[in-house]
Structure 1
Amino acid sequence: MKQNSFKTWFKSGSPWIWMNAGAVSIAVVMTVGLLALIAVRGLSHFWPSDVIEVDYRIPGQESLVILGEVNSDEEVPMTRLAGSGLPVDGEAPGTMNRQLLKVGNRDLYGADFRWVIGEWMENPRTPEDVIVVERREWGNFYGYLVDLRQNGEVIAEGASAWPALKQAVDRALTIHEDIQHLEKGEIGRINAGLEQVRLQKRGYELRDQLTPELQARLDAERAALDAEYAQLEQQLQALYTQFNRDSFTARVPDGREKEISLGKVVRAFQPNNMGVMDKTGHYFAKLWEFVSDEPREANTEGGVFPAIFGTVLMVLIMSVVVTPFGVLAAVYLREYAKQGVVTRIIRIAVNNLAGVPSIVYGVFGLGFFIYFLGGSIDSLFFPEALPTPTFGTGGMLWASLTLALLTVPVVIVSTEEGLTRIPRSLREGSLALGATKSETLWKIILPMSSPAMMTGLILAVARAAGEVAPLMLVGVVKLAPSLAVNANYPYLHLDQKFMHLGFHIYDVGFQSPNVEAARPLVYATALLLVGVIATLNFSAVAIRNHLREKYKALEN
């Protein structure tokens, strides 16, 4: 009886339902677990950890005082420690605790991190007056504030030095914003204008059209720009004088003192003297800096805003290009092309293109878009800029077109499926009422298949936003000095190279000279890339659902 019931249960298909449900559950748990791991390791980096000071006593050596943050700890076998040259018994069984401390002060110690043995650490303490200084160069500084100086003269020391230092740092940051505005805004505009004057003159010379009148006009434009530049340069020099006016002296645990200019300081705080609310405010300030600021220190500090901007802009341009081409190809194959051997071969080719490795598209983009098409454009329209290439080198436009070519098969297949699902009766009813085939296509078929088009676009965005290999050949760089959109004519500079979140992860994770400092940023940037892709996809899904509801009545 039990055997018959088991056979009945097995034939009913219930085991396969449970297996599918289990597989889906495992996939969901693994995905959520991976995202949780990335989030914890990435977002915890921005929390201001307490700084400990310990007496580090290595057997047979003098005791040292070490100051830093605990980055990680692990249990290490004795044999491994003995092999690293430490004075331990390599034949003894068991393990010892090893901790990685972020000690900062790279300009003094030569490295930001140091491995220490937990059993050799004595008298741990968290002094409230220890300061952490984030610098534009040489990473963090850990030490004790001695005094604050103005033009080399001490203006505050002792208990009054810390409040004065915070005010001085805020003042320096305000001046730094003014300097950035001048250098990237006004001076950048003048430099762009000077370059345009130079190119105009070179163009007239190549065409033998440089008359004395044109030369005089160009000289006048250059003189006006030079005069404006001289005024801005004076303002800039004054700002830099004020920017580098203040400095402070700090003492490290070994007794050495170092004077640091406030022009090199991004942030200064006392983590051991901060409450929960203060640390929470610091945490969100660091998060905002991460998503809104530019990178520094070989991309291991600062923010990733240029990479976010480049990723989103590239995906938007790719979407604008791939959607009409994919839709037109699908409409032709489904509505106009004669269904035969040639059409079937084209569909097979389209499906095969979807499986071509992305690096192949990168090589094609490099050869066709950059060398052939971009080189031809430079020869025809930008001869005055040669031999410096304008479009004959990697840039935003060629990267977007390469990814559009990579994702167009997905849009074609999805659009064709949407066209296939439209009832034949709607086509015949439209034609019977006197509409032409083109009117039926534009007013009935394409609007009703728009949800399928959006599905193809969603799949295209999901694939293109995470691609890195082809971008390394057609325009992405480690650090882009300016964004592809700015206030200089023509405002959208598609010929410029750009930063990308995916390449930023590769660069920070595998090309960084400071591996330990870069590791948490790899997780944080990966989480941000997932968030950007999810945001783009959810936006497309919302549009698709709206279109689906709009045309549901016609389908019924």
Structure 2
Amino acid sequence: MMRISLQKWYRSGEPWVWLNAGAVSISIVMVVGLLALIAVRGMGHFWPGAIMQANYELPGSESRLVAGEEVDHEEVPIKQLKNAGVPIIEGIETMQRTLLKVGNRDLTNADFQWVVANYLTNMEYPEEIMAIERREWGNFYGYLRAVKQDGELIAGANDAELWNIFQQRIERALTIYNDIYEIEKHDIGAINSELERLRLQQRRLELNDELTSTQLADIRAQEAELQAQYKQLEKKLAKLHISFQRDSIVVDSVDGNTTEISLAKVVRAYQPNAMNLWQKIAFYGEKVWEFVSDEPREANTEGGIFPAIFGTVMMVILMSVMVTPFGVIAAVYLREYASQGVITRTIRIAVNNLAGVPSIVYGVFGLGFFVYFLGSNIDQIFFAEALPSPTYGTPGLLWASITLALLTLPVVIVATEEGLSRIPRAVREGSLALGATKAETLWRVVLPMASPAMMTGLILAVARAAGEVAPLMLVGVVKLAPSLPLDGNYPYLHLDQKFMHLGFHIFDVGFQSPNVEAARPLVYATALLLVIVIAVLNLSAVAIRNHLREKYKALEV
């Protein structure tokens, strides 16, 4: 009876239901676990870690003070430590070592240091020790001794008052830095853009033998006006730079080195050991906001990644605008107009095969055809005045978007064809019977009902394109491009400009950075951000698709 019941249960198909449910559950757990790991390892980087200070007393060597943030701990076999020349303690098999972020790279040439925890003594967390984030050389850990203005010491009644003076001077320096950035990036950038436009205008007229004395005088007058504005901004900038360099601080590192740091190099300073919970939460929010809104610094291992976020979203939007109409038109022709013969079947097979071509092949094609052939010819015809400097004959945002549009085109074609094939024949015949032409039936009835399938194809295209890196390395992505391809200078959207991308940023920081330990948490944080960006883009498309499904649900038969 037991055997019969098992056979009956097996034939009912219920075991496969449980197997599928188990597979789905395992997949969900794995995905959630991966995202949780990325989130913890990445977002935990922005929490203000306590700064530990201790004596490091290796047997046979002189004791020294070390200080830094405890980044990682691991158990290491005695044999491995012995081979590294570290004195060992007899009778134990493993010893714990701790990775400290000691900073002060300008003094010690290293941001991180491994220490054997067994040899750390007198561990403490002094409240007055501070961390200074700098624009160069990473963090500095030490003690504030004095604040200077124009080389003169500023007196503080006590340490707390001196710290408040220091914070006020940092705020002042940051305000001046923002003013300098605004002038250099926007005001002077706009003038330089106009001067370049006038230069190209003159060169174009010369090449066409159309330059008259009146036109030349007009160009010279505009140049003179721009140069006058530039000189005014230059004077203002010089005053700001003098004021920017006014303040400095005297600090001591834990090993006794005294140094002076200009506040022009300081981003922020804080005392994590003296912070309460709410102060740490506020600091954490400030750091996360900096990460998503600022430009990178220190070889992409510090600061933010806003240019990479902007470049990724802009490229995906342009790719979507390009791939959707071409994919839909191709699918409509293959399904509605083409004769269903050998040639059409061959084209469908070719489209399906294109979906399996490695992405790097598309990158090589984009570089050879779009950049070197098409872009060079566009430069010869429309931008001859700028030669030999290429305009579109070099990798850029436009060619990267078109290359990815070509990469994802088969996905959109197949999804749209599937949607068109599901539209009942009776709907088409009903429209034609009421007097509509085939084109009107297609435009007003068939395509709206197939629009959810089109959106499905777009969702799949966005999901693939947003994470691609290999082809982009050949057709437009660079390590650092803080200038956005969209700004206030004509023509506003610079399709010829190179850009940053989150996927390439992960590759660069994770595998090309000289400071591996500093880059590691940023790899996790950037990966999490890339997943979030792709999820937001996909959810937006899914919401539109669901709306279209509900809108045209009544037409389904």
Matched AA of 1:78? I
Matched AA of 2:69? E
1:392-431 matched pairs, under 5 angstroms = 392-431=393-432
Q: Which residue of 1 aligns with 2:527?
A: 526
Q: Which residue of 1 aligns with 2:444?
A: 443
> How far apart are the structure 2 equivalents of 1:480 and 1:192?
17
1:445-524 matched pairs, under 5 angstroms = 445-524=446-525
Q: Which residue of 2 aligns with 1:101?
A: 100
> How far apart are the structure 2 equivalents of 1:455 and 1:220?
56
SS of match in other structure, 1:232:
helix
Shift of the alpha carbon at 1:214? 2.4
Q: Which stretches in structure 2 are left out of the alignment for 5+ residues?
A: none
1:67-146 matched pairs, under 5 angstroms = 67-88=67-88, 94-146=93-145
Q: Which residue of 2 aligns with 1:202?
A: 203
How many residues align? The count is 555
> How far apart are the structure 2 equivalents of 1:390 and 1:251?
51
Shift of the alpha carbon at 1:93? 5.5
1:348 and 2:349 aligned? yes
1:46 and 2:55 aligned? no
Q: Which residue of 2 aligns with 1:433?
A: 434
Q: Which stretches in structure 1 are left out of the alignment for 5+ residues?
A: none
Matched AA of 1:144? Y
Say whether the 8 Å CA contact 1:407–1:464 is kept in structure 2: yes
> How far apart are the structure 1 equivalents of 2:278 and 2:305?
26
> How far apart are the structure 1 equivalents of 2:83 and 2:388?
56
Say whether the 8 Å CA contact 2:307–2:482 is kept in structure 1: no
Q: Which residue of 2 aligns with 1:59?
A: 59
Say whether the 8 Å CA contact 1:295–1:302 is kept in structure 2: yes
Say whether the 8 Å CA contact 2:57–2:120 is kept in structure 1: yes
Shift of the alpha carbon at 1:209? 2.8
Shift of the alpha carbon at 1:527? 0.1
> How far apart are the structure 2 equivalents of 1:297 and 1:17?
53
Taking only the aligned residue pairs, the percentage that are identical comes to: 67
Q: Which residue of 2 aligns with 1:288?
A: 289
SS of match in other structure, 2:496:
coil
List per-residue Cα deviations over 1:231-288 (Å, max 9, x = no partner): 0011111111111111111101111111111111111111000000000000000000
> How far apart are the structure 1 equivalents of 2:445 and 2:278?
58
Q: Which residue of 1 aligns with 2:316?
A: 315
> How far apart are the structure 1 equivalents of 2:35 and 2:69?
26
Say whether the 8 Å CA contact 1:71–1:101 is kept in structure 2: yes
Say whether the 8 Å CA contact 1:156–1:164 is kept in structure 2: no
Say whether the 8 Å CA contact 1:145–1:249 is kept in structure 2: yes
Matched AA of 2:290? E
Shift of the alpha carbon at 1:92? 6.3
1:12-411 matched pairs, under 5 angstroms = 12-88=12-88, 94-157=93-156, 158-159=158-159, 160-411=161-412
SS of match in other structure, 2:357:
coil
RMSD over equivalenced CA pairs, Å:
1.0
> How far apart are the structure 2 equivalents of 1:209 and 1:107?
58
Say whether the 8 Å CA contact 1:78–1:92 is kept in structure 2: no
> How far apart are the structure 2 equivalents of 1:551 and 1:244?
65
Shift of the alpha carbon at 1:113? 0.3
Say whether the 8 Å CA contact 2:291–2:304 is kept in structure 1: yes
> How far apart are the structure 2 equivalents of 1:378 and 1:118?
63
Say whether the 8 Å CA contact 1:294–1:305 is kept in structure 2: yes
List per-residue Cα deviations over 1:335-391 (Å, max 9, x = no partner): 000001111110000000001000000000000100000000000011111111000
> How far apart are the structure 1 equivalents of 2:154 and 2:280?
29
Shift of the alpha carbon at 1:207? 2.3
> How far apart are the structure 2 equivalents of 1:345 and 1:92?
74
> How far apart are the structure 2 equivalents of 1:3 and 1:495?
72
List per-residue Cα deviations over 1:286-335 (Å, max 9, x = no partner): 00000000000000000000000000000000000000000000000000
Matched AA of 1:273? A
SS of match in other structure, 1:100:
strand
Shift of the alpha carbon at 1:406? 0.3
Say whether the 8 Å CA contact 2:295–2:482 is kept in structure 1: no
Matched AA of 1:59? P
SS of match in other structure, 2:155:
strand
